[in-house]
Structure 1
């Protein structure tokens, strides 16, 4: 076995089984048959695991779609814009498009395969999914960053959540988690209630940090966390309260700390208020509903800053 191949497998073992560490280098193992024989089963396990990534249809060839393909075993099928999703390709259909392209994805997907769709989008998808009869659709919260097309993803592990924040829900959740693990990324498999809480937290993160950043032109996510923390934390608390009341749930304590920690992990992200319908728009819909019923605005700070930026 060549040294570079052994090194690659050595890296795989540390990714898949962090508690297994090799006491010597690949070069030393090759020159010491007894030691090599001792650790051969571990390398065999790593190599076997690497080949168990289930083939998938990947809709979208952007940064996320390409990264997911790179984690596969060469048997995935990439479906580009406007191309039909095949009826006879078994396995998950990983949807990695912009939110506004989701209608088009459904149009080219046989209805019999809708229950195999796995949505990787940010934002609030629940109203749209419900309108399509996809209440229990598989979803993934992707807490990893990909700077450029073709570059490896960086896991969004933080000092408050060193185990990682990426999570999956649904019938293909374990399969998706295995693919991400093979690519060196963390992924938790959650039930629906736990997933919904994490989905709302991420929605709050992207809505709060993008809006505060837009108030300070040129500010990255890291700048917002460092220089405008009081602003963003006030907004996080407000949005969390509104979301909890709307959904009838209770968030875990210290959300501000968790979301600020994630912002430090992806500090280079630029900020802008975009995809309004799928992000800040959900919170503004709570405002509109409350005002129409003669009740106080549950998100007054959010509303004021949206108006300040002439978003609404």
Structure 2
């Protein structure tokens, strides 16, 4: 929003001295952090980023390539996937292009795919037998091709919010921190919770913003806080019930803090199938069973805007 269509930014001129992973037992993840200096980390002989195939030559793909050591293979739209190249396959396309990416990837390499997309990918991944696929929650943004990245660090999460999951999670984190971006490696349950939180952020802030034409994310957080708070609470309750999980306390505070960090981002309801559409499907399912709509406010506002 990766929270844009993907909220991700690239870097090319900063050197980053980084710390080794440290364990945070109470949070059940490893935090990768970095401090900026004046040169380029890629020139530091002590840092060796795992070479990767990068699918997608847009803002995110180019940003990831710049964080490497020059031995990545960039695959643009319509180009063939190299058969002999080992390592992770970083998928940085739009969600609607995922089907084509999968078809162009040898099935023997599907377990090396790392998905950087925003939104609810679980149903699609499970339909392809990829329920345990590597994923990245990119809480960083590249507003324009070639511009430096902005990390999603907030006053409530100064360690950063970007997270990776899967067998290539540590390799992805290493690449990001060489570009001056934070990244933590999570287990499956912790990652799913954060994925759902990010989904709730996108769905809530974009929908409330759409009700107030011209409102940026920051305007929504500042001027329409009560609306977005009600929607966050509603969507969180529906997601928790559907997935049988309990979110960490103070979700609203975390999501609003992130909104302040990216206050200039515009709002619009996009990629409905992958975002708000998942919550609307929960509403449709409940109503079909004669049960109350778990997301009545969400449904009402979607109808108000003639999205459904």
Instruction: Flag whether TM exceeds 0.5 (same fold).
Output: yes
Is 1:68 matched up with 2:64?
A: yes
Equivalent residue number for residue 257 of structure 1: 253
The one-character-per-residue Cα deviations of 1:163-218 (angstroms, maximum 9, x if unpaired) are 00000000000000000010000000000000000000000000000000000000
CA distance in structure 1 between the aligned counterparts of 2:34 and 2:76, rounded to whole angstroms: 40
Compared with structure 1, are the counterparts of its residues 19 and 116 closer, same or farther at alpha carbon in structure 2 (3 Å cutoff)? closer
Confirm or deny: 8 A CA contact 1:16 1:182 kept in the other structure.
no
- The residue that corresponds to 1:200 in the other structure is 196
Verify: 1:228 aligned to 2:224, yes or no: yes
Matched, 1:12 2:16: yes
SS of residue in 2 equivalent to 1:49: coil
Q: 1:266 to 1:49 in 2, by over 3 A?
A: farther
Matched with 1:47 is 44
Greater RCO between the two (CA within 8 Å, min separation 6)?
A: 2
**Structure 1 residue 88: deviation in Å?**
1.1
Deviation at 1:143, TM superposition (A): 0.1
The higher radius of gyration belongs to 1
What residue number does 1:161 align with? 157
C-alpha displacement at 1:20, in angstroms? Answer: 8.7
Distance 1:291 1:202, change over 3 A: same
Query: 1: CA distance between counterparts of 2:45 and 2:125?
Result: 37
The separation in 2 between residues aligned to 1:135 and 1:20, in whole angstroms, is 35
Which residue number in structure 1 is paired with residue 271 of structure 2?
A: 275
CA distance in 2, matches of 1:49, 1:296: 58
TM-score (normalised: structure 2): 0.88
> Which structure shows the bigger proportion of residues in helix conformation?
1
Gaps of 5+ in 1: 1-7, 27-43
Q: Which runs of 4+ in 1 moved over 4 A?
A: 15-22
Shift of 1:147: 1.2
How many angstroms does 1:49 deviate by? 3.4
Alpha-carbon deviation of 1:16?
4.5
**Partner residue of 1:36?**
none
TM-score, normalised to structure 1's length?
0.87
Q: Structure 1 residue 270: deviation in Å?
A: 0.6
Task: String of CA shifts for 1:101-132, please: whole Å, max 9, x gaps.
Answer: 00000111111100000000000000000000
For residue 97 of structure 1, what is the aligned residue in structure 2?
93
Structure 2 residue aligned with 1:170, among 166, 184, 189? 166
Going from structure 1 to structure 2, the CA distance change for 1:238 and 1:19 (only over 3 Å counts) comes to closer
